[in-house]
């Protein structure tokens, strides 16, 4: 009987230590990293407006180009070109682009013809677009993306200084009335909280190709995507992971600099998209993998040890457990509330607490599926 009580006490003690470790680590992330999302953006000079080359890769995107390309071609910016790379499209993409080219002289179009003997991914199309660019500053987005304002280029370009080589922007997803859309938008929001606040902390590790700017000279100095050309994904996050540091990177998350993209409308489509994104994680620097992995692990330890202690711990200690949970909860509200306002992600605050709990489950599924994935994913 005494042995049983001893083991129960030992198990509760280990669970309590696990909760404390998870709490302390989570406290660090929220207080010293994520809380930077509350920081007021630094006012930038609007006087310098260097020429910009906007690059878009398109494969069978006639519908999206018709709807969203005018939003990019009609930006309020004095000197920019838009380069669209038509990558082996079999629909009416070429005709749509030809029509726009007559109307907008700053639109340039280049084509990649299909070759059955040679397969390629998006990185080839991007490389061709970058080589065709006449300007030093490149601003990347996708064919299914819509700028939130006509000042998108202007706001991203306000960060272009002599010592800046990379600018990270926010790319969210359009709102729809569905649970899947809610999950996708929260997942995107939380990823943005991570990569933007770490960049503000001086430790940039990724960006999103929907809204990303960097110097053409940096691309060629890094030999483009040569180190990871064999991977379908990674044209944005792995590249940023390779070339950024605390001195050469800035972030831009004002409302007028943001991009909205068309979201997946089925769980299977989102599932495949996430698996493709997770394929790039193993190519990150060790420090980036450790930092991201530790946050997820500490979150899992925190939640599950909390639940177990809530059930089994005695009344004297329950207040300490609830106090730890409450402290993190308050910090979570502050961070999520600021992020939701800054990124205009409405109707996410209340469900965010449930998603914060369940998303590690999804990530585990994505990682497991990625291990057994053949790697044969779509171009985008």
Distance from chain centroid for Cα 149: 20
Domains of the chain: 1-380 (3.90.550.10)
Which of 172, 168, 153 minimizes the C-alpha distance to 340?
172
Q: How far apart are CA 143 and CA 54, in angstroms?
A: 11
Q: How far apart are CA 73 and CA 75, in angstroms?
A: 6
Q: Please indicate, yes or no, whether the overall pTM of this predicted structure exceeds 0.75.
A: yes
Proportion of the chain above pLDDT 90, given as a percent? 73
Q: How far apart are CA 159 and CA 181, in angstroms?
A: 31
Apex 183 CA angle, 286 and 20, nearest 5 = 55
pLDDT at 365: 79
Q: In this structure, how many other beta carbons lie within 10 angstroms of the beta carbon of residue 32?
A: 11
> Three-state SS across the chain?
CHHHHHHHHHHHHHHHHHHHHHHHHHHHHHHHCHHHHHCCCCCCCCCCCCCEEEEEEECCCHHHHHHHHHHHHCCCCCCEEEEEEEECCCCCHHHHHHHHHHHCCCEEEEEECCECCECCCHHHHHHHHHHHCCCCEEEEEECCEEECCCCHHHHHHCCCCCCCCEEEECEEECCCCCHHHHHHHHHHHHHHHHHHHHHHCCCCCCCCCCCEEEEHHHHHHCCCCHHHCCCCCCCCHHHHHHHCCCCCEEEECCHHHCEEECCCCCHHHHHHHHHHHHCCHHHCCHHHHHHHHHHHHHHHHHHHHHHHHHHHCCHHHHHHHHHHHHHHHHHHHHHHHHHHHHCCCCCCHHHHHHHHHHHHHHHHHHHHHHHCCCCCCCCC
pLDDT at 372: 62
Q: Which residues, other chains included, contact 226 with Cβ-Cβ below 8 Å and sequence gap of 6+?
A: none
Q: In this structure, how many other beta carbons lie within 10 angstroms of the beta carbon of residue 221?
A: 11
Q: How far apart are CA 217 and CA 138, in angstroms?
A: 10
pLDDT at 271: 87
pLDDT at 26: 98
Give me the residues of the chain with pLDDT under 50, please.
Answer: 375-377
Q: How far apart are CA 192 and CA 175, in angstroms?
A: 17
Residue 60 region by backbone torsions, left for phi larger than 0, else alpha for psi between -120 and 50, else beta = left
Residue 351, SS3 per DSSP: helix
Find out whether 143 and 56 touch, Cβ atoms under 8 Å.
Answer: yes
pLDDT at 38: 93
Which of 360, 252, 368, 375 minimizes the C-alpha distance to 26?
360
């Amino acid at each position: 009987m005494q042995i049983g009580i001893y083991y129960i006490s030992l198990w509760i003690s280990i669970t309590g230590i696990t909760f404390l470790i998870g709490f302390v680590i989570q406290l660090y992330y929220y207080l010293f990293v994520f809380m930077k999302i509350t920081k007021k953006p630094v006012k930038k000079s609007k006087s310098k407006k260097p020429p910009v080359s906007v690059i878009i890769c398109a494969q069978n995107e006639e519908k999206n180009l018709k709807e969203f390309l005018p939003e990019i071609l009609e930006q309020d910016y004095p000197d920019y070109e838009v380069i669209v790379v038509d990558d082996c499209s079999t629909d009416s993409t070429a005709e749509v682009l030809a029509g726009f080219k007559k109307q907008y002289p700053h639109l340039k179009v280049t084509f990649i013809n299909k070759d059955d003997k040679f397969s390629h991914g998006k990185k080839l199309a991007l490389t061709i677009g970058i080589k065709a660019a006449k300007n030093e500053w490149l601003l990347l987005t996708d064919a299914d993306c819509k700028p939130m304002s006509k000042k998108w280029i202007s706001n991203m370009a306000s960060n272009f200084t002599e010592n800046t080589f990379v600018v990270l922007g926010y790319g969210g997803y359009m709102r729809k009335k569905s649970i899947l859309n809610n999950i996708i938008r929260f997942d995107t929001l939380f990823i943005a909280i991570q990569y933007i606040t770490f960049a503000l902390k001086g430790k940039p590790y990724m960006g999103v190709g929907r809204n990303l700017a960097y110097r053409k000279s940096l691309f060629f100095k890094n030999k483009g995507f040569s180190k990871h050309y064999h991977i379908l994904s990674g044209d944005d996050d792995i590249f940023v992971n390779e070339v950024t540091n605390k001195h050469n990177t800035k972030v831009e998350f004002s409302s007028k600099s943001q991009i909205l993209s068309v979201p997946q409308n089925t769980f299977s489509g989102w599932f495949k998209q996430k698996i493709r994104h997770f394929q790039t994680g193993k190519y990150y620097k060790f420090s980036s993998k450790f930092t991201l992995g530790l946050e997820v692990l500490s979150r899992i330890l925190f939640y599950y040890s909390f639940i177990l202690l809530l059930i089994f711990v005695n009344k004297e200690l329950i207040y300490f457990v609830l106090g730890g949970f409450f402290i993190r909860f308050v910090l979570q509200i502050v961070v999520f509330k600021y992020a939701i306002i800054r990124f205009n992600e409405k109707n996410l605050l209340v469900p965010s607490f449930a998603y914060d709990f369940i998303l590690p489950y999804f990530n585990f599924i994505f990682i497991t599926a990625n291990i057994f994935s053949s790697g044969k994913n779509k171009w985008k």
